[in-house]
Structure 1
Amino acid sequence: MAAAQRPRISFRPAKERESAHQRGPEGRRNVLPHGSLGVVARESLAGLAMMSPPQLRAEWRRLHRGRLLPDGLSADLVCRAVAWRMQERCHGGLPPARVRELARLAKQICDGGAIELEREWTVKPGTRLVRQWRGRTYRVLALDHGFQFEDRNYSSLTPIAREITGAAWSGPRFFGLKRRTGQNLVARDDDEA
């Protein structure tokens, strides 16, 4: 018994879509509404699974104008890449900062095979943070879940910085764990201090 064929989905610009009024056998429009969401977009994504590899490659070329399809991609990965691009057109893409970060990581992989991830600052339990402020030295001990300052426990560094300075400071910045440019510094363990 042969499987039922789904209607072919065409992805046409809005002007062509409005003038042609093409509909599939089930009476549904065979288009992806660019910049809008809806049933048609979901059906278009679902229709990708029914496309043959040559149809997927053609769709890739249409969506990625000027960019070649990488060699060695399986039909499943091409389908996922096409679906990503379709959703990106509807929802918008990644923020520019995230795109730059991904490009930086890709360059590192191409250059040396290893990547250097920029991680959020973490302080191991037992680490003692020391900060001088207006002629006085302040010491904070990192605990498993929070920090200890002057025999009181805090869930984060920010209220400690506020208590010391009397102003709204970022706790990690006040204690030198994070620079203004976003670069992280390494805290020393208690036995190294």
Structure 2
Amino acid sequence: MTRTTKPKPQTAPAFTAPAIPPADVLGRLAALKTASTPALKQQWRELFGTEPPPYNRRFLESRLAYRIQELAYGGLKPETLARLEALGEQLDGGKVTVRRMRGDDKPIAGTQLIREYQGVEHVVTVTRDGYDYYGRPYQSLSAIARAITGTRWNGRVFFGLRPSRGAV
């Protein structure tokens, strides 16, 4: 019985990002603002070694700016990355679904939400700890919507922060 060996699959050569001299960083960062989108995408290919994601221009600019600085000055130390990962695990218990949830679903403190209901205008102010409605603190918009209407409402839907499920 003869033994045959399978040919090893060819792997793409490892990507090596170009070195960027620290003296060039400011000029390259300034050039990002005036570069065309195709030029930004080409820089992405050169600096990341992958195809650029289909995101907007601002995203490309910010990630390229970070990458330029990272290549010039060095990235985060492995110890820092490990510490950040450990902190993230503490916050979400290692659950990917929790990690993907947005934590910034509440409007910024000071924002005023205005809703007219049955001919009366209702103004709610977002605070750091919750919401203020006519000088009274509330923990949720749903509680305020219930105080206004007398029935259960999703507060985010009531105040127009999220469309209702029936809306198209």
Which of structures 1 and 2 has the bigger CA Rg? 1
Normalization by structure 2: what TM-score? Answer: 0.39
TM-score calculated relative to the size of structure 1: 0.34
